[in-house]
Structure 1
Amino acid sequence: MSIDLVINEICCNFKVLIYIELQTKIAMITEDKVTEIFCMADDFCKFFDAMTTKYALKPAGKRKYHRSSTMSKAEVMLIMILFHDSGYRCFKHFYLEKVCKHLRHLFPNVVSYNRLVELEKEVAVPLTLFIKKVLLGKCTGIRFVDSTPLCVCKNQRIHIHKVFKGIAQRGKCSMGWFFGSKLHLICNEKGELLNFMITPGDVDDRKPLEYKAFIEFIYGKLVGDKGYIGKNLFQRLFVDGIQLITKLKSNMKGALMSVSDRLLLRKRAIIETVNDELKNIAQVEHSRHRCFDNFIVNLLGAIAAYCLFPKKPCINLQRTIDTQLALF
């Protein structure tokens, strides 16, 4: 057997192994799990539509004709969530090859791919509220906060970029300069997301913590990196029942800190792992967006998929929950 034939056989076997691995990853999403997520999304969409019909303002002028889609909002939300948990890198290939062929019995009223892209914009608000009200975890008294950049293009293409013109901004993180947005996250020691916020890339990491809506249900200890150091911010959060814990910069005076707080600072890498899974598994970041609306829906779908992960990064803590803060 010649060397060329051996190389070709090895390459073919390697491709088969990659295909089997991809199919195994896709098969992890069982039909029972798909049905469970759909029931959750469908119940929420029915409640959302009822509240919208009850409290929405009626149009003053002539009502425009609006034809209802054959695919429901819950189905569109479910497809967006399944894509970010499937292992596919291209949404079009996932929809045409996986949903329209292998999951046709679960989605009998499939639409064309172009129509599905149009329907994505209509589920932005329901999907946001579905995450906020159903999928987010509960505060346990220990939380970790961090931000991660979402680049929309390479720095060399900033001047010719048009999709996010006027929205994306230049920012700087530990990895250098970038052009895009920031995703601010708060998670607990179980790896569950407690809240999230999207800002332009030039917004200070401490700015979201000044909004009451971002820390509304947060109490206890909040662990962050050196980017969250601020005397005024510490005092404002302390009044709201939140103790901000950060490392000190090299030019700052030393401060007393309890052993438990030092251990929590060493465990801050848990939220870095959350950011890594959002980017490398849920694909929250890519540079192929064609409009801002679908960028938001793609990001929300990735966050929803992460919230439904069966296994999340966590740290083992055995303690009694106490909302009272102690002065050190």
Structure 2
Amino acid sequence: MYDFTEIFCSVDDFFKKFEPIYWQFLKQEKKRQRIRQATLSLSEIVTISICYKASQMHNFKAFFQLLCQYESRLFKELPCYKNILTLINQHQLAIHALHYALNQHKEDSYLWIDSTPLPVCKNKRIPKEHHALDDIASRGKSSMGWFYGCKLHLLMNHQGEIVNSDISNGHIADIRKVEKLVDGLSARVYGDRGYISQALKETLKEQGIDLITYPRKNMKVMLLPFSDEFHLRQRKRIETLIGLLKEKYHLVTGKHRSIAGFLSGVFSSLCAYQLCQKNKPQIHVVNSLAYP
């Protein structure tokens, strides 16, 4: 269960420093568009979006009605349902910035990498037109089959915390996002067979990254050190993290009607996991020096 006040305090601590920079950036990017301050503060808007993702409710309208009925005392003045949706979508960049800030200082010597599809519609609707997300969605194939949408790429440490993330089109291969995810890091990264690439492995080696995967069936089997073998077997923990994002924090939904709405929903789910998930899927790290 989450606490409105606790989440708001965490969000507000960040925006006290970031908000002036954020408004200055918007004025520079949208010179011809008038930017009006809402009745709610930026911290309150982001808090509502995160709390919805942590509420176990699948309908934002029903969630907002309950918020107005039972928790309105926590806010100075709540707008109508249509306006709160507009505000959340308008400030998806602020939610993204909060997610990025929550990832900081969570580096580790051992990291796990994986990706998951973010379908924006059911498969039977793929042949039909889907104008809302045409600019970012595309057909892709995962281990579960074909889908139409995007991909979320995640990097996790042994404490179950998200170290880095990125969103791509559905057809983008997993190995094309590895360098961006591990940029500036130095660690041993464990992934599935989708990350096998000798050229990528050599490039990352120069940056201080050791990418470790199991070989394919048609490849020569090489014995791994005990620690690497153990950490590879723990790769299922990042799949547990993805399962929590989808089942508990509603990462995947087909109700988005704009790119801004889609992005705000994804980053709100990630922030909700980072702020509200107490028992994260942790991994016991085995020191490579202790086992030859």
TM-score, normalization by structure 1: 0.82
Q: Give yes or no for contact 1:137–1:193 (8 Å, CA) kept in 2.
A: no
Give the 3-state SS of the residue equivalent to 1:255 in structure 2: coil
Residues 1:94 and 2:59 are matched in the alignment: no
Q: Distance in 2 between matches of 1:56 and 1:108?
A: 24
Instruction: Name 1:117's counterpart in structure 2.
Output: 85
Contact kept, 8 Å, 2:102 with 2:274, in 1: the verdict is no
SS of residue paired to 1:159:
coil
1:221 is aligned to 2:188: yes
- Shift in CA distance, 305/56, structure 1 to aligned 2, threshold 3 Å: closer
Mean alpha-carbon deviation: is it higher for 196-205 or for 251-260? 251-260
> Which residue identity is paired with 1:51?
I
Are residues 253 and 320 of structure 1, via their aligned partners in 2, closer, same or farther at CA, if it must alter by over 3 Å?
Answer: closer
- Residue of structure 2 equivalent to 1:82: 51
Sequence identity, in percent? 34
Alpha-carbon distance in 2 for matches of 1:54, 1:72: 16
1:311 lines up with 2:279 in the alignment: yes
Give ranges in structure 1 of 5+ residues lacking alignment: 1-27, 322-327
- Is 1:243 aligned to 2:195, yes or no? no
Tell me, in whole angstroms, the C-alpha distance in 1 between the residues paired with 2:24 and 2:79. 29
How well do the aligned residues superpose, as a CA RMSD in angstroms? 2.2
Segment of structure 1 superposing worse, 49-58 or 134-143: 49-58
Aligned to 1:18: none
Equivalent of 2:19, from 20, 25, 49?
A: 49
Aligned length: 288
Distance (Å, rounded) in 2 between the aligned partners of 1:89 and 1:225: 32
The whole-number CA distance in structure 1 between the counterparts of 2:255 and 2:20 is 35
Q: Which residue of 2 aligns with 1:260?
A: 227
| Aligned counterpart, 2:139 | 170
Indicate whether 1:36 and 2:6 are aligned. yes
Q: Is the 8 A contact 1:152 1:287 kept in 2?
A: yes
- Residue 108 of structure 1: which of 63, 72, 76 is its match? 76
Contact persistence 1:128–1:300 (CA under 8 A): yes
Letter in 2 for 1:80: S
SS in 2 for 1:250: coil
Q: Which has the higher contact order (CA 8 A, sep 6+)?
A: 2
Change (3 A) 1:65 1:297: closer
- Determine which structure has more spread, i.e. the larger CA radius of gyration: 1
Q: 1:319 to 1:60 in 2, by over 3 A?
A: closer
- How do 1:155-194 residues align onto structure 2 when only pairs under 5 Å count? 155-160=123-128, 161-194=130-163
> Pick from 141, 148, 153: which aligns with 2:121?
153
**In the aligned structure 2, how far is the partner of 1:170 from the partner of 1:222?**
28
Q: 2:53, 2:105 → 1: CA distance?
A: 19
Deviation beyond 6 Å, 4+ runs, structure 1: none
